[in-house]
Each structure stands twice: as structure tokens, then as C-alpha cells.
Structure 1
Amino acid sequence: MSVTSPDITRSDRTSFIETEERRELRSAVSALGARYGYREYVLPKARVGEPLTELWKDAAELGFLGVNLPEEYGGGGAGIYELALVQEELAAHGAGLLLVVVSPAICGTIIAKYGTDDQKRTWLPGLAAGTSIMAFGITEPDAGSNSHQITTTARRDGDDWIVRGNKVYISGVDQADAVLVVARTEDSRTGKLRPALFIVPTDTPGFERTRMHMDILEPDHQFTLFLDDVRLPSTALVGEAAAALMQLFAGLNPERILGAAMAVGQGRYALDAAVRFANERTVWKEPIGAHQGIAHPLAQVKIELDLAELMMRKAAVLYDEGDDFGAAEAANMAKYAAAEASIKALDQAIQTHGGAGLTQEYGLAAMLAAARIARVAPVSREMILNYVAQHSLGLPRSY
């Protein structure tokens, strides 16, 4: 299935009933996810630390990975809503793709909005086709949630830029052709450092990566990056050197929305597994799902997952409509709600399975550990609460 630009009016976007094209997209993505599956494909790959290359290739060939990117560069011409839909449906089969969050959602969106014509021609066709992958480098050891404290710097040297610094927890660098690095330039008038974005090919001299060994089962790896006076041409700068904070958030809101979509999908996978087991497992006279001690917690999980999905859809609609403030608020809320619902769904699925829920056969314990990431990344639960308290409720800033 190829994805083409949808003719979606504002009333279509805000409807609780999805358009026929979106329903068809959901069905097609779900069919792809079912062909692979968690226990059959994803978990064995994760256990040996191999990326989901075959799934990525098939999703790319079907046009799913570039659904949000402009048609003129080979994308589907749709929006973040459609890309979140792709992520959710894959994750509902336990086959969510982490690099969908990074490559087309963050990097593709930023380049499509702020890149030069040459940058768009160079990178967007590959990102849309899935033949190129771009990682995203923002987190630093001493900055963490406070991106204002980033110390990776970029200075002018003639027409070139010299970038120096290091990053941590950067996903998928071993699969990437380049990393979109968040650095800071110095404002000569004020002496203050301003954020700026640079496309850094992974084979650039002075660019080094070291794999971080995480204590979770994931097919994608995390890396520490070292940029030792990396020389970049002037064409590596994305957008304006002094306007990157706005450009940065053009990618961070989609990151939160796609993260929420992945969490909702994982929660759906866990709930489906629990319901299936509860209908099949008989200990006394009837299946265990007939007992309220099993049924009620699963019903509660269903409610909370659906509520999280609604907020995720709202965030995607607002973002695609250009409401940046509304999208930021909704995206943070969606990410918070989806993370909590997903973790609860997996914990309850394990409880429903009893001892079987802790076995390698079902893989639920491994998925719970992976789902736990959503409480921490790409922004912690506590920072989301800070944001809502300050910006939604008007309370004094607490940090």
C-alpha cells in the first residue's frame, strides 16, 4: 500500500471517527505488524541485540515510514497523526520501531520545515523511503532535562563550523547515516550561547561513538557520542543559527506524540495478551476472566489506554493544524498518560498470567522493562508535571 496526500478538512481532523483512508492505513499497518509479531520476531531479535531490519524495509516499501513527509520528496504528504497511527499499530503487535520516532518524526520534520532546498533534496527522499536514517543528538551528561545547559559548542572557522562536545543516550547511531546534533553557537554581541542544529554524517572525521550497555532487552542500541573538533561545511547548519530553539521544538512535539503512540500500542499488546489468557485459562469451573479480581483491573486498563490514545490523537491534530502551544500541552499530557497506561497494562498482564507472565515464552516481563523507558524518555514524568503546573495551571515555576 502506498500512502498519498489525504484530502482532510478541519472537520475531518477533529472528528472522533477516522476517515476511510486512515482506517485503511491502520488495517494495512496492522497486517504488517501481524506478519512479524513480538514473540516470533521482535523478542528473538532483541535478545541478540539485532535491529528490526526486515520490518523496517517492509514498512518503508509500503510507504509507511515517510507518510508525514512532503510528497515532492517522496513522502506521503500526510501528517504526524498518520505517522503516530503507523507507530501505534506496529506497537500493538509488539513491533514498534524506535527509529520512526527519531528519523522521520524528529529529523524529517525539522528538515522539511527549516532545511535548505539542498538539505531537503539530499535527505528527505531517503528518510521518506527508509533507505536513509538520521539519529538525533540532544541529551548530554550534565544537561539531562535542561536543554538550556547544553555545552556542545559550534564555532565559526572561515566558512566552516567546528563542533565539539559529547552526547549520551543517542538511539540507533549504528544504523544511521547522520546525526542531527543540537549544539550552541556564541552570540558575539551578548556572549551568550544560542542553540543550533547541525547535520553530522556518521563517517565525519572526529565523530566517534561508543555503545552504552543498557540492562533492558531492545533491538536498538544507545550510544555516547564524542565530537572532537568535528569540521562541518556551512551547509550542515539547519535553519538559522539563532532560531534553533523554535526549530528544536518543531521536532520535540512529534517525538512526544510518537512516544505516546508507541506506549499506547504496547499497552494494547499487553491487554490483548491478558484478555486472551484470561479467556483460555481455567482453574476452577470457568475461565479466570469471569472473576472480577481479573476482569475489573483489565477493564480499568482498557479505559486508561483509550483515554491516553484520545489525548495522543488530540496532540497530533493540533500539531498538524499548526497550533504549537496547544500541541505542546497535549503532547506532554499524551506522553504522560500513555506511559502510565502502558506500564499498568503490562504489569496487569503479567499478574493475569501468574507465573507464566515471568517466563521467556511470553516475553511480558521484558516488554515491561522496555515500556518503563516511557516514564523517563524523551522527557521525564516529573518534567511533564512541571510543565503542566506552570503552563496549564499558571502556577509559579518550580525549577
Structure 2
Amino acid sequence: MDFRETDEHTALREAVAEIGRHFGHEYFVKCREDGVFVDELWRAIFSQGFGGVNLPPEFGGGGGGLYEMAIVIEELSAQGCPLIFLIVAGMCGPIINEFGTDAQRQQWLPGIAAGTTKMAFALTESAAGSNAPNIRTSARLEDGTWVLSGAKQYITNVDVADAILVVARTGADDRGRPELGMFIVETSRPGLEFAKIPMEIKEPDNQFSVFLDDIRVPAENLVGGVPGKGMLQIFSGLNPERVNVSAQAVGLGRYFIDKAVDYAKTRDVWGQPIGAYQGVAHPLAEAKIQIELARLMAYKAAWQFDTGDPAVGESASVAKLAAADAALLAFDQAIQVHGGNAFASAYGIADLWGLTRLMRSAPVSREMVLNYVTQHTLGLPRSY
């Protein structure tokens, strides 16, 4: 097995990292403080084909896969620009490409690949949690039109999205189990409202509650055109989401370690840099090791997804758990190395705590990953 990346992957990393360095964490913070979307960074990423790197060339994409998308997300995060909405874009386009009709691909993929069309993803509901079949948002067919009713929570950047991929119940199978469908809902449609959720997470991507009040969408807006296929479509999107969150966590871990190492090399208190002391150096080495281990798992999962390996479900979840834990360890060590300076805005560390901590809980909780491994890998009885 060859763990060396190709020259193309190396070039992709370098090009994306250069964009990230050009904008930097200062730009990320300014957008957050100004309450605006990261338009300039978004355009820079997509204008060079990096935002649509995982979409087919015939629609303007780069022809790559999840592996390449993970590289883009990791390298931006490593420069202090972790974009949640880029992870969402990395889900929506491939779902439409894999499951959409020819007309849906033609209508939506060119804009998504170019970054000119933004699409949100709406699955989460307050009463469902990790139990997707338990969602209450419904879709009923009336005279050839789907009517959607319900509410979603923690939906990223609805305010700048042109459309939302909405998961809804379309009925039940012959055993009474819910059947789900995925619908493309333009944000301009009557009956769709949203409200910003105040968050302690300090980053430019905002979270919203979304309300669907008998929204009517044409039959051709059902992804794939056939009801009851939503669960397959959801899981096709959730595995890449977990891999890309892993890549973001790895990138953030690198960012924190780089910050801490630079500080440890220059901070002189007792006649030599503090990095010379094992009490400072060894915890950073431990954090670096954990980040590298998580990175291996993240790209293994990306490779499995791109090659159609059915084991990707477990790998994606394990990678997400490992990377989230490693990023938090790196964050904590960066705080410890900087001392009181870590809490000064100028150092660009403490403001990322909320997003870093979030990755341990979302998009799948640490406990649900452990449940999955307990049941499916170890063969122990299901506990829930």
C-alpha cells in the first residue's frame, strides 16, 4: 500500500493553502464580526475549481472525489478558515449527481460547481436527533405537486442559499416504517421562513431554524423522481459529511499546533525558548501524533468512499471521532502553551473553541459512533 499522495494532490494542497494564507484567520474573523458571508474567499476557492473539485467535468467540476474535497477543506482549515458551508456544498452536489435526474443535474450542478449557486441541507429536527426516520416534516402529493410541512433546526446559511435539500416523510412502507424523500426547495418559494439561532460558536456560517408551511414544489423537485429513496440518499451524504468534518478537524489541529510551536520557539522567559522544556514540548508532540493518526483514518475513509468500499460507514464515523478528539487536544495544548495570551483576540486561538468543540458532538455524536462500533464491529447487543 502506497501512502504517498500524487503530484496532483500535492499541487492541490499547495494551491488551496496559498488561498487560505492570502485571506487568513483575520479575514475569517472580520466576516464574522461584520455579520457577512465569506464572499471573497468563496469566489477565490470556486473560481479556481477547488470548491467543485468533487463534481464531474461535464458540469464544470474538477472530476475528483471525496479525497480531493477533503484536501480542500483541510488546507483551508489549517490556515484558520474552517468553512462549515463548504462541507455542506461537498454534500449537496454529489447527492444530486448520484441520485438526481438528468434534468436536475443539468439545472443545479453547473452553478454548484461554480459556486454561484448555494444549496443548504435540511435534515435535523428537534424531536428526531440522530434517528433520521423519526423526522416529522412531511411531504404529500396533491395534483402532481408535493406539499411540504414541518420545521428543521440548525440549518447552515439558509440566508445565502438559493435552495435547500429538504428531507421529508413521503409515506410508509408495507411494514409501517417511514419512507423518506429528498426535495429541492428554492428559498424563494412562498411558505418558507427561517430564523437565525443565536450561537456561541464564533464563525461566519450562521445556523437557522427553517419553517415549511405547506410549501408547494413541483414533482420534478423530488431528487431522483421516485419517492421512498431518501434514506439511501441521506446516508450517501452523511458519510462524506463525516469525512469532511474529519478533514476540517485535522486542519484545525494543524493550525493550533503551528500556532503553539511558533510561540514556543520565540517565547523566552528563563533565558531560552519555552519550547526547550519537555513540559511544553512533549504535549505538543502528543497532539501532533494524534492529529496524524486521525488524518490517516480520514483519508482512508475518503478513499473507501471513492472506491465504493462498503466499509466506509464505519471508517467515516471512526475518523470523525478520532479527528474531533485530536483537534480538541491540539486546541487545549495551544491554549496551555500561550498562557494568558491565548485568550487575547490577536492570537487567533480562543475564538475557535466553539467550532472545535462542536465537532465532538456533530454531525454525529461521539456516543453514537461508539454505539456503531460496539454493535457492528464488536458484535455486541444493540443498546438503544
Give 2:316's aligned amino acid: A
Q: Distance in 1 between matches of 2:227 and 2:375?
A: 28
**Deviation of the 1:65 alpha carbon:** 0.4
Structure 1 residue 253 and structure 2 residue 253: aligned? Answer: no
Q: Distance in 2 between matches of 1:297 and 1:47?
A: 33
Structure 1 residue 370 and structure 2 residue 351: aligned? Answer: no
Q: Distance in 1 between matches of 2:80 and 2:247?
A: 12
**Deviation of the 1:193 alpha carbon:** 2.5
**Aligned 8 A contact 1:267 1:305 in 2:** yes
Structure 1 residue 211 and structure 2 residue 196: aligned? Answer: yes
Equivalent positions of 1:82-97 (< 5 A) are 82-97=68-83
Q: Distance in 2 between matches of 1:362 and 1:349?
A: 10
The residue that corresponds to 2:101 in the other structure is: 116
Please state whether the residue corresponding to 2:170 is helix, strand or coil: strand
Q: Distance in 2 between matches of 1:29 and 1:250?
A: 26
**Deviation of the 1:45 alpha carbon:** 1.7
1:325-360 deviation line (CA, Å, top 9, x unaligned): 311111001100110111111111011000000111
The residue that corresponds to 1:8 in the other structure is: none
Q: Identity across aligned pairs (percent)?
A: 51
The residue that corresponds to 2:170 in the other structure is: 185
Equivalent positions of 1:262-301 (< 5 A) are 262-301=248-287
The residue that corresponds to 1:74 in the other structure is: 60
Q: Distance in 1 between matches of 2:380 and 2:87?
A: 31
Please state whether the residue corresponding to 2:98 is helix, strand or coil: helix
Question: TM-score normalized by structure 2?
Answer: 0.98
Equivalent positions of 1:1-399 (< 5 A) are 15-38=2-25, 40-103=26-89, 105-187=90-172, 189=174, 191-239=176-224, 240-323=226-309, 325-399=310-384
**Deviation of the 1:96 alpha carbon:** 2.1
**Deviation of the 1:188 alpha carbon:** 7.2
**Deviation of the 1:218 alpha carbon:** 1.2
Give 1:222's aligned amino acid: Q
Which 5+ residue runs of structure 2 have no aligned equivalent?
A: none
**Aligned 8 A contact 1:185 1:241 in 2:** yes
**Deviation of the 1:191 alpha carbon:** 4.9
Give 1:381's aligned amino acid: R
**Deviation of the 1:284 alpha carbon:** 0.3
Give 2:9's aligned amino acid: R
The residue that corresponds to 1:10 in the other structure is: none
Give 1:391's aligned amino acid: H
**Deviation of the 1:48 alpha carbon:** 3.0
Choose 45-54 or 353-362, whichever is displaced more. 45-54
1:261-292 deviation line (CA, Å, top 9, x unaligned): 01110110000000000000000021000000
Which 5+ residue runs of structure 1 have no aligned equivalent?
A: 1-13
**Aligned 8 A contact 2:180 2:227 in 1:** yes
Q: Distance in 2 between matches of 1:369 and 1:245?
A: 30
**Aligned 8 A contact 1:194 1:242 in 2:** yes
